[in-house]
Every structure is written in structure tokens, then in C-alpha cells.
Amino acid sequence: MLNRVILMGRITADPELKQTPNGISVVSFSLAVERSYTSKGAERVTDFINCVAWRQTAEFISRYFSKGRMMAVEGSIQVRNYVDKSDNKRQAVEVVVDNAFFADSKNAAAPSGAPSPMASPYQPAPAAMPAAPVAYSNGAAEDFQELDDEDDLPF
């Protein structure tokens, strides 16, 4: 059986990180997702889809996403049944997020001059592009070295 969903939309409110009594991080949020089709002459319809993320994914979302940011999520649909305060049976449908991705530009992520949350502390910043394009010439046979066929491949 297959239960996978991929959505891209704007987050409707700042996500608030919470902890379960056991100390597990959880965040619930809603994505505003426009439908890809419209009726002739009608305006686009937006669906507001409830999502929940757990543990490191929840911490990532609460740290780097805020209201209005474009976000892509991958996960599965979960249906929960519960009884509300008035003893009415209710059903909740939500996306359990496994992965969350940035879906807008770096410029939308932070005001100018502020560090981008998309920059990784583990990788150096990319080098600046050269001012002039680099010219390449066609290689001649003398530019190449013959390899010994008896060596094993490096992979």
C-alpha cells in the first residue's frame, strides 16, 4: 500500500514548537495550497491543509520557517478519531511531515544583510564568479595521459 503526499504552499502562521510529556518535539501548522486548476472565469481556490511534524523535523521547521514562507513538505496522510469536550465524535485529517524543504528564494528568507538560514555551517560559502568568462580551448592528444588498463577502478 502507498500513502505519500507532497505539498507546496505558504505557512499560515508562525510555527510554535511544543514538547510532549516525554520531551519529544512536535509542531503543528497549516499550509495554504492553491489548487492547480480553476473553473472558467472563477478565482483560484486555496486549501488550508493541517500538518504535524515530530522530533528533528519539528525543530527544523520551528527554527527556519515563519508565516508567509513558501514551504514544500513530504509525508503521509493520517486520520485520527477523537471525542471533543462536548462528547461529539470528531475526525482529524493531517499530513505527518517526514521532510520539509525551502521553496522560496533566499531573499525572501531574511532581510538584506542578515545571514540566510539556508547557509550551511558545514560548507564554505561559494566562491564569487570570475569577472570575465574563462575561455577554454579544445584539447590536443598530447594533453592527455594514457592509463594502465591493469589497475582497478577507483570505485
Q: Is residue 146 part of a domain?
A: no
Q: Is residue 85 part of a domain?
A: yes
Q: Is residue 13 part of a domain?
A: yes
Contact 71, 100 (CB under 8 A): yes
pLDDT tens string 21-74:
999 999 999 999 999 887 888 888 999 999 999 999 999 999 999 999 999 999
Q: Which domain holds residue 23?
A: 1-35+42-106
Q: Is residue 128 part of a domain?
A: no
**6's grid cell:** 507532497
Q: Is residue 149 part of a domain?
A: no
Portion of the chain with pLDDT greater than 70, in percent: 68
Number of domains making up the chain: 1
User: Average pLDDT for residues 108-125, to the nearest whole number?
Assistant: 47
CATH of the domain at 73: 2.40.50.140
CB burial class (10 A; 0-12, 13-18, 19+) of residue 100? buried
**83's grid cell:** 471525542
* pLDDT computed for residue 43 by the predictor: 86
CA distances from 89 to 50, 64, 82, 118, 149 (A): 19, 36, 6, 42, 72
Q: Is residue 133 part of a domain?
A: no
